[in-house]
A and B are shown apart, each in its own frame.
Chain A
Amino acid sequence: MARVTVSSDAQITELAVNDHACLTFGEPDELIDLTAAFVRDGLNGGLKVIWLSDSGPTQAVTELARRGIAVEAALAVGQMAALACENYLLSGQSFAAGQAMIWLIEQMAASKNEGYSGLRVALDMSWALRPIAGVEQLPDFEENVGKVLTDPTVSVLCQYDRERFDPVTLASVTTLHTKSVAASTYCANAVLRICRQYAPPGIRLAGEIDLHAEEALSLALAEALRLDGDITVSMAGLSFIDVTCMRLIVNLAKSIPAPRKVILQCQPKVANRFATFGVTEVSSISLEIVDDQ
């Protein structure tokens, strides 16, 4: 079996105040998970947080709240803003690096005037995949963002879908950032993906998992165990799990000291497997049924 390696990118929880970080993601769940951690840590640190999402503010807020982020309260007091790219980074269906920079600098000044000790901005760059006029100015924008982030209270997280952006664009823009951020991935192939989950903390499994992934799953679980608090094993995207892997997960849950818990989120048929295995009798396991994603 191939040796399990974990990607060497920075963790989303390791960003410094003046980082201009490049987040790459492979699936929508990964983007929202990483953004949720970025937002959570910003709000907890008393910073103002702005997310310009591609999916729309309403869905963004719903997804963040679903991951336990107190986003409604932050929105109500103005500590957070969830916006669509169209009205802020873009002017209609066109992009101008200069205009976008003016918007960003205005936000930096506004957050100071509002009394916040700093600002976190997350920018979903998926708009650049659409036929937007001025998209060729994207590298200029990224370069200029780096220049204005000499202010040690502001960090910007640019978000790129690595499955949809072409490698040349990705390579050119990533060099314009101070850090590269991605979810720690323990296994990624055509059948299975195992990666760290940041909000709520734990791991995420998608696809089909069997004994071939025993080593990768063991490593992912061992690292999750070192986190604080409850551990969530998100299996909404998992359609098959065998006894070998169920045993690893159940044994982790049995070894976790009280009052910590392991929360298993699964599709109904996977939940039934765990129930057959007796997990509903284990006090440190909470079995939650979620819809297939």
Chain B
Amino acid sequence: MTSDAQGFPRRDRRIPAAPPDALPPADRHTEPILDHPVDGDSLYQLRASVAAHAVLAGLSPRKADDLVIAAHELAANVVLHGSGHGRLRIWLCDSTLHCRVTDDGSEPRKDSAETVRSGEEPGSPDPSSWPIEPGHGLWLIRQLADDLSVRRAQGGGSDVTVSFSFTSPDGTDGTRPAVS
């Protein structure tokens, strides 16, 4: 992990410009363990469902918390900046949990501040700047997830997939260190 100019920790990982059939492999072979609608009225239920399935799947409590906020922010993007409707699905594949949020719409709103295209890196919050601008949802997700990929879905919507591995290479929980 390195730091940016403001001393912010960040991972040396760019959002991959992956072809649609590469993300994730799980959905080509298995049924999702969760398929939940995304809309403005069901974010609380969505978080509760994601948390329950993450724990049931064996994700550590810390990663489960990270997954919940990642799923929420992706769903919130659909509600705030996309068509307003979509679906969230979770697959288990080998040692990784993939959570994909699909925006059903073909006409994303023009005021979308969090629209991100494959290969682009969302800006990180600068503690010296004011005020903090929209766009940090994706930045935060990038800090928490082991992988993040974006693709344009068939029909004009978008797919964003975050992946959390059950173990990290160094054998630890793999998420950010706790505040001391």
- Give the interface of A toward B (CB within 8 A): 191, 208, 210-212, 240, 242-244, 247, 250-251, 254-255, 268-269, 271-273, 275-282, 287, 289
How long is the Cα–Cα vector from A282 to B179 in the complex, in angstroms? Answer: 15
How long is the Cα–Cα vector from A278 to B144 in the complex, in angstroms? Answer: 14
* A residues less than 8 Å from B68 (CB atoms): 240
* B residues less than 8 Å from A211 (CB atoms): 43, 76, 79-80
Chain B: minimal CB distance from A154 (Å):
47
Q: Does A242 lie within 8 Å of B72, measured CB to CB? A: yes
How long is the Cα–Cα vector from A208 to B51 in the complex, in angstroms? Answer: 13
Known A210-B72, A243-B140, A281-B7; judge A272-B179 contact (CB<8 A).
Answer: yes
* A residues less than 8 Å from B127 (CB atoms): 278-279, 281-282
Contact mask for chain B residues 52-82; partner A; CB cutoff 8 A; 1 contact, 0 none: 0000000000100100110011001001100
Known A210-B43, A277-B140; judge A268-B179 contact (CB<8 A).
Answer: yes
Q: Does A287 lie within 8 Å of B76, measured CB to CB? A: no
How long is the Cα–Cα vector from A247 to B132 in the complex, in angstroms? Answer: 6
Q: Does A243 lie within 8 Å of B130, measured CB to CB? A: no
Q: Does A277 lie within 8 Å of B125, measured CB to CB? A: yes
Chain A: minimal CB distance from B38 (Å):
13
Chain B: minimal CB distance from A252 (Å):
9
* A residues less than 8 Å from B79 (CB atoms): 211
Chain A: minimal CB distance from B70 (Å):
11
Known A210-B76, A254-B130, A255-B131; judge A277-B136 contact (CB<8 A).
Answer: yes
Known A208-B44, A210-B72, A275-B179; judge A243-B136 contact (CB<8 A).
Answer: yes
How long is the Cα–Cα vector from A289 to B179 in the complex, in angstroms? Answer: 9
How long is the Cα–Cα vector from A217 to B8 in the complex, in angstroms? Answer: 27
B2 in the interface, Cβ–Cβ < 8 Å? no
Closest-by-CB residue of A relative to B180 is A289
* A residues less than 8 Å from B44 (CB atoms): 191, 208, 210
B14 in the interface, Cβ–Cβ < 8 Å? no
* B residues less than 8 Å from A276 (CB atoms): 140, 143-144, 176
Chain A: minimal CB distance from B157 (Å):
20
* B residues less than 8 Å from A208 (CB atoms): 44, 47
Q: Does B130 lie within 8 Å of A255, measured CB to CB? A: yes
Cross-chain contact of B43 among A212, A254, A271, A287 (Cβ < 8 A): A212
Known A272-B176, A272-B179; judge A247-B43 contact (CB<8 A).
Answer: no
* B residues less than 8 Å from A282 (CB atoms): 127
How long is the Cα–Cα vector from A251 to B69 in the complex, in angstroms? Answer: 20
How long is the Cα–Cα vector from A275 to B8 in the complex, in angstroms? Answer: 10
* B residues less than 8 Å from A269 (CB atoms): 62, 65
Q: Does B76 lie within 8 Å of A278, measured CB to CB? A: no
Cross-chain contact of A278 among B8, B40, B62 (Cβ < 8 A): B8
Closest-by-CB residue of A relative to B131 is A251
* B residues less than 8 Å from A279 (CB atoms): 127
How long is the Cα–Cα vector from A210 to B137 in the complex, in angstroms? Answer: 12
Q: Does A242 lie within 8 Å of B76, measured CB to CB? A: yes
Q: State the 8 A-B residue pairs at the shortest beta-carbon distance, nearest first.
A: A281-B127, A251-B131, A278-B127, A243-B137, A254-B130, A275-B179, A271-B179, A247-B132
Closest-by-CB residue of B relative to A249 is B132
